[in-house]
Amino acid sequence: MWSDTQELLRDVTGELDCATSVYNVLKEPRRVLVVQVPVRRSNGVTEYFTGYRAQHNNACGPYKGGIRFHPGVTIDEVKALSVAMTIKCRVVNIPFGGAKGGVVVDPSQLNEHEVEQLSRGYVDVLGDNLGPDKDIPAPDVFTNSRIMAWMFDEFSRRSGRNHFSFITGKPAHMGGSRGREEATGFGVSVVTLRALQRRGIDPNGARVAIQGFGNVGRNAAEALTRSGCRIVAVSDVAGGLYNPDGLPLGDLLAWEDKSKGRSVADAPFGRRVGALDVLFVPAEVVIPAALEDQITGDNAKSVQAPVVIEAANGPTTRDGHARLLADGRTIVPDVLANAGGVTVSYFEWVQDLGSYFWDLDEVRARLSVFMERGFDDVVAEAGKSPDLRRAAYRVAVRRLSEAMLDRGWI
Ligand code: NAD
């Protein structure tokens, strides 16, 4: 992932006037912090967990990016995701730079008190490197609003006053934004409708298949259903469910609520298929919303849908992307498709700074504006080229290099 990111940056910066300088700034994060976070376990032993924070580029605003607690976190993954955040913020034009954080830990092995220590300790050990006008964290894999509340409290305690704008993804009663939970999925639905329109496909009744039925997949399904689309397949880690006539989404969600812990594949509303197979059913749109590296050079030929929306980060390999393009598919890249989350994080930061909070309709309306404008900017940049990923990177890198030139960085 890290070498792919660097290669794409090299390609795209190569087209600019001051190519070498821009590439030299962007090829590595400006700062990568490696920390050891202490946790006193319930057996009395103090363990240290390795954590990272990569701060990629802050030419256009404070660093912004999530923190993940996961055993698979690596320094290269954190670096690559910090670059993606920089690109994402520039594509939708919000005044943040890219960052990402992570701790190498399996949080399911910690009790609640230990997770709280880890969360507070991460903020404490990073100290003045974080802050509402420096670097603003958010939730990511295996971190949530509860953890954001602890981190907010720790930062506020250190500085002696409440800093609601220090972190986003907080609970709604503590300066969180309405619509933050659904934001990424809602944003996915906005660009999906735009992409269908561009292909001349009527969204009414358009068939959509979604891999991953978590926060992003589910919220995208709900928003697309409200817009008239038909969800024909969904999957989670344990399997998929397919119904060519459309799944009854309300019934499926109610079934899930009642059947805690069971896979959607067990629901009685369609035919069971493999977790990956949902990407290959007949449909107008497929949305990989689970993991990276799902559509590859080997399986891309099986994708039937004309539109692929990358809701997950990095769901398509380089070879898979090339094959989809060659087959005439429209691929809305992750740096645009899933930018709804960071956009509503930006709204949360703005609301916290002004201590004035918007209702859900207002958040959705503003989010639609940012996502549609981002989509239109990328399409305009692409011109006749079908490669929207490259166009998104070009839009972002050009905006960034203008800011860096003005600031005298290059
Ligand atoms: P989540 O944990 O809520 O849901 C993930 C879903 O994917 C679950 O249903 C899980 O069972 C399923 N899944 C896991 N492995 C699978 C597999 N092999 N096949 C099919 N399904 C599988 O996560 P999420 O928040 O919905 O995030 C999904 C993706 O979107 C991730 O790549 C994440 O980095 C990206 N993303 C999320 C946000 C956000 O705001 N949540 C923002 C930007 C990007």
What residue type is assigned to position 69 of the chain?
Answer: F
Query: What average pLDDT does the segment 99-121 reach?
Result: 97
Q: Is the CB of 235 under 6 A from ligand 1?
A: yes
What is the spatial distance between Cα 338 and Cα 115, in angstroms, rounded to a whole number? 27
362-381 tens-digit pLDDT:
999 999 999 999 999 999 99
Q: Rg (Cα) of the chain, in Å, rounded?
A: 21
The Å distance, Cα 289 to ligand 1 centre, comes to 5
Using CA positions, which residue lies closest to atom 18 of ligand 1? 237
Partnered with residue 36 across adjacent β-strands are: 50
> In CATH, what is the architecture of 183-328?
3-Layer(aba) Sandwich (3.40)
Using CA positions, which residue lies closest to atom 17 of ligand 1? 237
Q: Which atom of ligand 1 is nearest to the CA of 315?
A: 32
301 catalytic? Reply is no
Using CA positions, which residue lies closest to atom 32 of ligand 1? 312
Q: Is the CB of 309 under 6 A from ligand 1?
A: no
Using CA positions, which residue lies closest to atom 5 of ligand 1? 214
What is the best residue among 236, 266, 346, 371 to mutate for testing ligand 1's pocket, by most ligand atoms within 8 Å of CB?
236
Task: Please report, rounded to a whole number, the percentage of residues in the chain having pLDDT higher than 90.
Answer: 93
The Å distance, Cα 187 to ligand 1 centre, comes to 15
Q: What is the pLDDT of residue 249?
A: 97
Two domains, one topology: 30-162 and 183-328: yes
What residue type is assigned to position 181 of the chain?
Answer: E
Active-site choice (64, 88, 100, 170)? 100
Q: Which atom of ligand 1 is nearest to the CA of 218?
A: 26
The Å distance, Cα 313 to ligand 1 centre, comes to 9
Q: Is a pLDDT exceeding 90 seen at residue 93? A: yes
Q: Is the CB of 93 under 6 A from ligand 1?
A: no
The Å distance, Cα 244 to ligand 1 centre, comes to 24
228-273 tens-digit pLDDT:
999 999 999 999 999 999 999 999 999 999 998 899 999 999 999 9
Helix ranges (DSSP H) in 172-317: 183-198, 215-226, 249-258
Q: What is the pLDDT of residue 19?
A: 78
Domain ranges, ordered by start, for the chain: 30-162, 183-328
What is the spatial distance between Cα 89 and Cα 70, in angstroms, rounded to a whole number? 24
What is the spatial distance between Cα 314 and Cα 15, in angstroms, rounded to a whole number? 23
Q: Is the CB of 317 under 6 A from ligand 1?
A: no
Reported confidence tier of residue 64, pLDDT bands at 50, 70, 90: very high
Q: Is the CB of 275 under 6 A from ligand 1?
A: yes
Q: Is the CB of 316 under 6 A from ligand 1?
A: no
The Å distance, Cα 38 to ligand 1 centre, comes to 29
Q: What is the pLDDT of residue 11?
A: 87
Using CA positions, which residue lies closest to atom 8 of ligand 1? 214
Query: What average pLDDT does the segment 180-202 reach?
Result: 97
The Å distance, Cα 237 to ligand 1 centre, comes to 10
Q: What is the pLDDT of residue 212?
A: 96
Query: What average pLDDT does the segment 74-93 reach?
Result: 96
Reported confidence tier of residue 1, pLDDT bands at 50, 70, 90: confident
> In CATH, what is the architecture of 30-162?
3-Layer(aba) Sandwich (3.40)
Q: Residues 125, 49: contact at Cβ < 8 Å?
A: no
Q: Is the CB of 58 under 6 A from ligand 1?
A: no
State the CB neighbour count (10 A cutoff) for residue 297: 15
What is the spatial distance between Cα 349 and Cα 324, in angstroms, rounded to a whole number? 37
Closest C-alpha among 273, 260, 296, 255 to residue 210:
273
